[in-house]
Amino acid sequence: MIDQVVSVLRETAETVVLPRFRNLADGEIVEKSPGDLVTVADREAEVVLSARLAALLPGSLVVGEEAVAADPSVLARMSDDGPVWVIDPIDGTGNFAAGREPFGMMVALMRGGVPVLAVIYEPVPDMVTVAESGSGSYIDGARMVLDHTPLGPDELRGAVMTKYLPPQVREQVEARLPKLSEAIPGLRCAAREYPELLRQTRHFAMFWRAKPWDHAPGTLVIREAGGVVKHFDGADYDPVHPREGLVVCRDDAVFGLVRSVLLA
């Protein structure tokens, strides 16, 4: 099924998303909430993806980012015991609306509230990141396995998204960033941050917002490669009951370092 999901994403990108890239009229970009953009491409892509993915798995439910924005009660489908597709039609919408990369399309299949299949597709580089429960994580067909060589605090390299952090937490984190070997600016696109972690260009990434469409797909690809996705307090991320504050790490040891350096 994973190949079918990739085909659905790729075809939707070709017919709906890419024709609008750097080709959006002013009225095709709106603010659905302060600082949170949506475009006609997001909405149209979600309609197409919802129909096609539901057809792949008759009886499955769909939770899409834009559907939840229009009707928050849709989010209750996440707790269904049956198959549920979680869709982010365009992740990195702010980048997409501005005519720049990165942006991507993300899908996770949940069963019993647990992600069992994930696809992250970046249309412009035509890059595919996939994972299936128990089968590992892959980028463009190459298996990704995270390194667990021990690190010291001064060797840590990570992406830290501070924009949505509460003021007190942001002040503390920003004051401690010099303790890292390298603090990488956030890309405003989880669809790129997760593959970058798999490629080990960084050891961790910190987020505040933890919406399931942003993190359910990435959570599976990271866990299948040997990494962890945890809340600031150390609890494992659960897409059905998301809480704010996430650290995505190559392993538990790195999480402990990040917590001690930036959050303690």
Whether pLDDT at 34 is above 80: no
- Quick one: 248 and 164 in the same domain? yes
Say what the pLDDT of residue 227 is: 98
Residue 114 dihedral angles phi and psi, to the nearest 5°: -120, 135
27 and 136, same domain (yes or no): yes
Q: Please say if the pLDDT value at position 172 is more than 80.
A: yes
Do 213 and 225 form a contact (C-beta atoms < 8 A)? no
Q: What is the pLDDT of residue 77?
A: 97
C-alpha 168, offset from chain centre: 25
Query: 91: annotated binding-site residue?
Result: yes
Examine the fold and report which residue of 120, 144, 168 is the final residue of a domain before the chain moves on.
144
What percentage of the chain exceeds 90 in pLDDT?
A: 94
Pair (181, 121) in one structural domain = no
163 and 246 in a common domain: yes
Name the average pLDDT for the chain: 96
Residue 90 assigned to a binding site = yes
Given 94, 114, 144, the domain boundary residue is 144
Neighbours of 185 (CB within 10 A): 9
* 105-116 pLDDT, tens digit each: 999 999 999 999
pTM over 0.85: yes
Same-domain status, 12 and 80: yes
Same-domain pairing of 140 and 157: no
What domain range is 115 assigned to?
A: 2-144
Single residue among 144, 171, 198 that ends a domain in this structure: 144
The confidence score (pLDDT) of residue 32 equals 84
